Chains A and B, each alone.
Chain A
Amino acid sequence: MAFLALFKKELRLELPSFLMVEVFLLGIAFYVFSRFDESLPRLFLLLPMGMMVPFFGLLRMFQNLRSEWSGDTIQWILSLPASGWQQLGAKWLAVLASMVLVALTIGALVYPVLLQTPIADQLGTMTPSVLQLLTVIGIFFACYLPLAMFSYLVGRGIPKWRAPVVGVVFLGGTYVFNRLFETAADYLPPVYITVKNIEMTPDSLILTDHVLNVSGIFGTVFFGYLLFHASVRLWARRIDV
Chain B
Amino acid sequence: MIETEQLCKHFGRVQAVQDVSLTVEQGTVTGLLGENGSGKSTLLKLLAGVQFPTRGKAAIDGQPVGPETKAFVSYAPETNPFYGWMRVIDVMRFQATFFDDFSWEQNRKLLESMALAPHQRVGHLSKGMQARLKLAAVLSREAKLYFLDEPISGIDPLSKRKILETMLERFRHLSATVIVSTHDVTQAEPLFDHVVFLREGSVALQGSAEGLRERYQCSLEDLFGRV
Contact = CB atoms under 8 A, between A and B. Distances in A.
B98 A5 contact: yes
Interface residues on A, range: 20 to 34
Contacts of A125: none
Interface residues of B, number: 25
A9 interface: yes
B50 interface: yes
Contacts of B48: 79
B81 A75 contact: yes
A38 interface: no
A48 interface: no
A178 B99 CA distance: 43
A83 interface: yes
A74 B51 CA distance: 11
Contacts of B79: 72, 75
Contact of A81 (B52, B85, B98): B98
A79 B82 CA distance: 12
B71 A81 contact: yes
Contact of A241 (B11, B45, B97): B11
A76 B98 contact: no
Interface in B33-57: 45, 48-52
29 contacts: A2-B97, A5-B94, A5-B97, A5-B98, A13-B83, A72-B80, A73-B81, A73-B82, A74-B81, A75-B77, A75-B79, A76-B81, A78-B50, A79-B48, A79-B49, A79-B50, A79-B70, A79-B73, A79-B81, A80-B70, A81-B67, A81-B70, A81-B99, A82-B98, A239-B45, A239-B51, A240-B11, A240-B51, A241-B11
